[in-house]
């Protein structure tokens, strides 16, 4: 059964924004009291929260699909829809949020830190919010936009000050149990440790965290064993402690050869760009199990050779606790020195004001097609406006055309070489809209007296103009006069024939 997970792929879908409402106030003696449709509620976000009480991503391994709440629809009498429920996902400190492609999006290292990993959709405006002095009773409302839908990768990298590295069964778990209150699994067979263990050590005034990772063996960089898979938990550590087994019974092994193998495997591990390589960090060596007489003799024999390599060596026993106090204080000195060297003064937050018009709000890409060029309009506003438009409502489509014209899309299409009838696409993927472009005159939607919900520029109008009715009236009168003249001529001809 899986008990520890440090990498998981989350499939997220934020809440959809609620649609705005189309409503007209109706009161006694006021059959058309004006628009009163409320706005739709915003969709719920999906938020990651750094929680010190969470130590694994196991819950997300079993349930990787998480959804935010949808926003409620707007209602009449200016009642706004309820906002969608925000979904908060607690994650361990040290969790790195990445895209599926591997790009780092955020690093959760502070307790209580919040990161909106999937933003909810925006609620649509009701017709009351769309009313203006010229468009007094809009017959349409804006739709809610969909929230973010996609996948992210959560990768846990343990936040610890000191990492214990060494061969399996070297006594790393026993050491962390002897130095702290941690109680990891301890047994007399290799690979007892299947996931990192954390312990807090108090050495005088120094307080630091120690991490125990699964043991390394020769060839770990090529995929053997378990240790290299968990070396990501060593990346954040400021110091390394090599735990060497001086009482091993395996043939061909001794503390010096074990140290060489561990150093070679640490050198083969590539840390992220900008971090100090593992072998360039402060390192100490602990010769373990000196409670065994033969192990004590071996530790005294190899100690000069290890010190000659530049390492500070401690002889310890996790059973009798011999040498643990000096080791804990030495590790505390390394951690305090690292904290003092990396401590920087936090600059005061600067408020940066960026004008809204500093960047282009859309762009047009010309793509070749079988029947001519295709002009694709890309940009946050045009795509969002398309998502908010109810294309079953002519007035809503006309409102979209007015917004695009004010944004300058038509002028840009002219400059890009578009002609009447050209294929124009707004957006990409499933949310795109394709139409044949017809240049419009300056917006006059507010002055057009068409019924609510219609726009004569979109669907046309079957109503005859005054001139058309006058011409048709004269044509009918002329036809009647011609018919009377013809009938009178026939009567005269018949009379002349009788005479």
| Binding site residue list for GTP | 166-173, 191-195, 212-215, 288-291, 317-319
Residues near 112 by beta carbon (within 8 Å), at least 6 away in sequence: 49, 50
Per the annotation, binding residues for Mg(2+) are 173, 193
One-character DSSP codes across 220-238: GGGT-SSGGGGGGGGTT-S
Residue indicated by tokens 């990651």: 48
Q: Strands 197-203 and 206-212, how do they pair?
A: antiparallel
Helix (H) or strand (E) holding 472: helix 466-498
Distance CA 140, CA 156 (A): 48
Alpha helices in 243-393 (DSSP H): 255-268, 293-308, 324-342, 380-387
Q: Which two tokens stand for residue 381?
A: 């506003």
- CA dist., res. 35 & res. 30, Å (int): 12
**Which residues make up each annotated binding site?**
166-173, 191-195, 212-215, 288-291, 317-319
CA distance 282 to 272: 18
217: Cβ contacts below 8 Å, ≥ 6 apart = 167, 168, 224, 225, 227, 261
Spatial separation of the C-alpha atoms in residues 308 and 312, rounded to whole Å: 9
Residue 90: strand pairing partners? 49
Q: Which two tokens stand for residue 106?
A: 């955020």
Q: Which helix (H) or strand (E) holds 129?
A: helix 127-130
Query: What does the H/E/C string look like for 326-341?
Result: HHHHHHHHHHHHHHHH
CA distances from 218 to 108, 213, 230, 268, 350 (A): 33, 16, 15, 11, 51
Residue with tokens 């990396």: 342
What's the token pair of residue 453?
Answer: 């919900």
DSSP letter at 499 equals -
Kindly provide the b/e burial profile for residues 7-36, where b requires at least 16 CB atoms within 10 angstroms of the residue's own CB. Answer: ebebebbbbbbbbbbbbbbeeeeeeeeebb
């Amino acid at each position: 059964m899986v008990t520890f997970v440090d990498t998981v792929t989350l499939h997220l879908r934020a809440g959809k924004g609620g649609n705005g409402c189309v409503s007209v106030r109706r009161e006694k003696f006021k059959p058309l009291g004006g628009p009163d449709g409320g706005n739709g509620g915003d969709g719920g976000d999906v938020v990651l929260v750094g929680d010190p009480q969470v130590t694994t991503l196991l819950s997300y391994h079993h349930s990787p699909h998480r959804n935010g709440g949808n926003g409620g629809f707007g209602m009449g009498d200016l009642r706004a829809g309820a906002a969608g429920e925000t979904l908060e996902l607690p994650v361990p400190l040290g969790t790195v949020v990445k895209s599926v492609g591997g790009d780092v999006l955020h690093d959760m290292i502070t307790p209580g830190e919040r990161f909106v990993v999937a933003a909810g959709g925006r609620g649509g405006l009701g017709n009351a919010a769309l009313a203006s002095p010229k468009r007094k009773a809009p017959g349409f409302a804006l739709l809610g936009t969909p929230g973010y839908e996609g996948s992210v990768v959560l990768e846990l990298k343990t936040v610890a000050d000191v990492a214990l590295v060494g061969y399996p069964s070297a006594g790393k778990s026993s050491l962390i149990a002897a130095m702290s209150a941690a109680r990891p699994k301890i047994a007399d067979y290799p690979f007892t440790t299947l996931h990192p263990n954390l312990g807090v050590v108090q050495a005088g005034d120094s307080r630091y965290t120690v991490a125990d990772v699964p043991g390394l063996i020769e060839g770990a960089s090529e995929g053997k064993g378990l240790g290299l898979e968990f070396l990501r938990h060593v990346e954040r550590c400021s110091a390394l402690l090599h735990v060497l087994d001086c009482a091993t019974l395996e043939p061909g092994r001794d503390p010096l050869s074990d140290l060489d193998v561990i150093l070679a495997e640490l050198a083969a591990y590539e840390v992220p760009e900008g971090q100090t390589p593992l072998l360039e960090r402060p390192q100490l060596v602990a010769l373990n199990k000196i409670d065994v007489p033969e192990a004590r003799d071996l530790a005294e024999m190899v100690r000069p050779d290890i010190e000659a390599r530049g390492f500070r060596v401690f002889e310890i026993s996790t059973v009798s606790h011999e040498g643990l106090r000096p080791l804990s204080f030495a590790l505390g000195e390394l951690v305090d020195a690292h904290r003092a060297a990396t401590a920087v003064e936090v600059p005061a937050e600067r408020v940066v004001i960026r004008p809204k018009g500093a960047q282009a709000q859309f762009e047009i890409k010309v793509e070749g097609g079988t029947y001519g060029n295709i002009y694709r309009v890309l940009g946050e506003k045009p795509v969002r406006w398309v998502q908010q438009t109810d294309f079953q409502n002519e007035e809503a489509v006309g409102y979209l055309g007015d917004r695009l014209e004010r944004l300058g899309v038509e002028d840009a299409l002219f400059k890009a070489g578009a002609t009447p009838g050209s294929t124009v696409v707004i957006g990409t993927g499933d949310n795109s809209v394709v139409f044949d472009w017809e240049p419009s005159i300056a917006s006059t939607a507010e002055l057009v007296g068409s019924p609510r919900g219609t726009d004569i520029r979109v669907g046309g109008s079957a109503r005859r103009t005054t001139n058309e009715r006058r011409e048709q009236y004269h044509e009918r009168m002329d036809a009647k006069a011609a018919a009377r003249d013809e009938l009178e001529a026939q009567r005269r001809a018949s009379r002349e024939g009788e005479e």
